[in-house]
Amino acid sequence: MGRVTVVTDSSTCLPEALAVEFSIRVLPISSYLSEEGAAADLGGDSPLALSEEAELEELTAANRPFVTEYLAAVEHPGCDAAVVVTPAIEFAAMYRNAALAASLANRPAVAIDARTAAAGQALVVLAGAQVAAAGGDLEAVVAAIEDATRRVELVASLASLDEIRRSGPVPEEVLGAAGSSAARSVFRMSHGTVEPLGATGGAEESLETIRDAYRASTTRGVERTTVFHAGAHQLAARLEQMLGGVDFVSGFSAAMQVHTGRGVVGAAWLPRAPDR
C-alpha cells in the first residue's frame, strides 16, 4: 500500500507548520457570529479574538466537518489510504461523521476517536503522521495512533467554569467537584473522561498542579510535550519553563475557546511506554 494521510479538524491545537511538515489534512470548524452573521473559520491558531459579548451569546450554527468534507479529505489525490482522528466522542460529535465517511470511501480508511481533545488530540495525530511520513502502511499508522490514545495525558487550568457549564461537554457532577469559588480549577482529560484535580488559589498554584501531574506520569520519560493556552501567553511561557521545555507551544483554538472561555492554559504529553 502507498502513502497514508492523516486527517483531523481545526479544534486540534496543531501548529500550521507541523501540519504542513507531516502533510496532515486539517478540516476547519466554521461558524456564524450571531452579531454580524459573518462566517468565521475557527481554526487551530485562529487570530480571531472573541469578545465577551460573543462568548456570552456563544456562536450560532457552529459546523463540525460534514461527512462530505471528511470523504473529500480521505479521497484527496496523492494518498492511497487515510486515517481520520477526531476528538473524544464524549465531548464532540465529529467521530460519527468521520466513521461514516470512512465506510463510504473508495480507498482504505479508518476513523479513530483520540480519547482526548485539543492539544492532546494534536499529539495523537502527530504520532500517526510521523509513522506515515516515514513510509508506514495503514496498519502501522493505525497502531501508532491507537497506542497514543492509550497514553496521552492532558491537564488544563480554567480561569472560569461559566463557559464550560454553558456548553455542556463536562458533567455537572465533575464541575461541582472542582469547586466554584476558586480562582482557577484544574482538570485532567484522559481515556475520554474528565477528572477534576482540585481548586487552586491562583495562577501559580494551578501551574504547579499541572507540573506535578506531568512529573508523576513521566517517570520513564516523555516522547512529546506541548503547552497550549487561550490568550494566556505569560502563563504558557511560565508553564513551559516549569516543565523544562516543550516541543511546541500553540494557541487554543477559538472553537475550543467558545466552550472553555479565555485564560485557559495547560499541557499535553505522551509519556514514554514501558518498553521504549
* Domain match, 51 and 82 both: yes
pLDDT tens across 238-272, in order? 999 999 989 999 987 666 666 666 788 999 999 99
Q: Is 25 helix (H, G, I), strand (E, B) or coil?
A: strand
Cell numbers describing residue 22: 507531516
Exposed, middle or buried by CB within 10 Å (0-12, 13-18, 19+), for 1? Answer: exposed
Strand order in the sheet with 4-9: 25-27, 4-9, 81-86, 109-113
The answer to whether 24 touches 8, Cβ cutoff 8 Å, is yes
Cell numbers describing residue 222: 516523555
* Domain match, 82 and 207 both: no
Exposed, middle or buried by CB within 10 Å (0-12, 13-18, 19+), for 89? Answer: middle
* Domain match, 76 and 182 both: no
* Domain match, 142 and 162 both: no
Q: Is residue 264 part of a domain?
A: yes
* Domain match, 61 and 134 both: yes
* Domain match, 99 and 22 both: yes
Neighbours of 222 (CB within 10 A): 19
The C-alpha atoms of residue 38 and residue 266 are separated, in whole angstroms, by 30
Confidence at residue 39, expressed as pLDDT on a 0 to 100 scale: 44
The C-alpha atoms of residue 32 and residue 42 are separated, in whole angstroms, by 10
The answer to whether 162 touches 261, Cβ cutoff 8 Å, is yes
* Domain match, 47 and 135 both: yes
Residue that is last in its domain, among 150, 171, 201: 150
Confidence at residue 160, expressed as pLDDT on a 0 to 100 scale: 59
pLDDT tens across 74-94, in order? 999 989 999 999 999 988 889
Residues 6+ apart with CB under 8 A from 135: none
Confidence at residue 58, expressed as pLDDT on a 0 to 100 scale: 38
Q: Is residue 98 part of a domain?
A: yes
The C-alpha atoms of residue 113 and residue 135 are separated, in whole angstroms, by 23
Q: Is residue 223 part of a domain?
A: yes
Q: Is residue 276 part of a domain?
A: no
Q: Is residue 169 part of a domain?
A: yes
* Domain match, 163 and 131 both: no
Confidence at residue 30, expressed as pLDDT on a 0 to 100 scale: 63
Q: Is residue 96 part of a domain?
A: yes
Confidence at residue 182, expressed as pLDDT on a 0 to 100 scale: 47
* HSE-up (13 A, CA, CB side) for residue 163: 24
**pTM of the shown model:** 0.83
> CA separation (Å) from 170 to 91, 113, 196?
7, 17, 11
Residue that is last in its domain, among 133, 150, 167: 150
* Domain match, 98 and 184 both: no
* Domain match, 113 and 186 both: no
Domains of the chain: total: 2
The C-alpha cell 470523504 sits at 71
Structural domain boundaries enclosing 254: 153-271
The C-alpha atoms of residue 186 and residue 239 are separated, in whole angstroms, by 14
Q: Is residue 125 part of a domain?
A: yes
* Domain match, 104 and 189 both: no
Confidence at residue 258, expressed as pLDDT on a 0 to 100 scale: 64
CATH number assigned to the domain comprising residue 231? 3.30.1180.10
CATH number assigned to the domain comprising residue 105? 3.40.50.10170
**What kind and span of H or E run contains 271?**
strand 265-271
The C-alpha cell 507531516 sits at 22
**Count of residues in the chain:** 276
Confidence at residue 257, expressed as pLDDT on a 0 to 100 scale: 65
Tens digit of pLDDT at every position of the chain (276 positions) = 579 999 999 989 899 999 999 999 999 986 544 444 444 444 444 444 444 444 333 333 346 899 999 999 999 998 999 999 999 998 888 999 999 999 999 999 999 999 999 999 999 999 999 999 999 999 999 999 999 999 999 999 887 555 444 455 555 444 454 444 446 788 899 999 988 887 677 889 999 999 999 999 999 999 999 999 988 899 999 999 999 989 999 987 666 666 666 788 999 999 998 776
Q: Is residue 84 part of a domain?
A: yes
* Domain match, 189 and 120 both: no
Residue that is last in its domain, among 150, 176, 194: 150
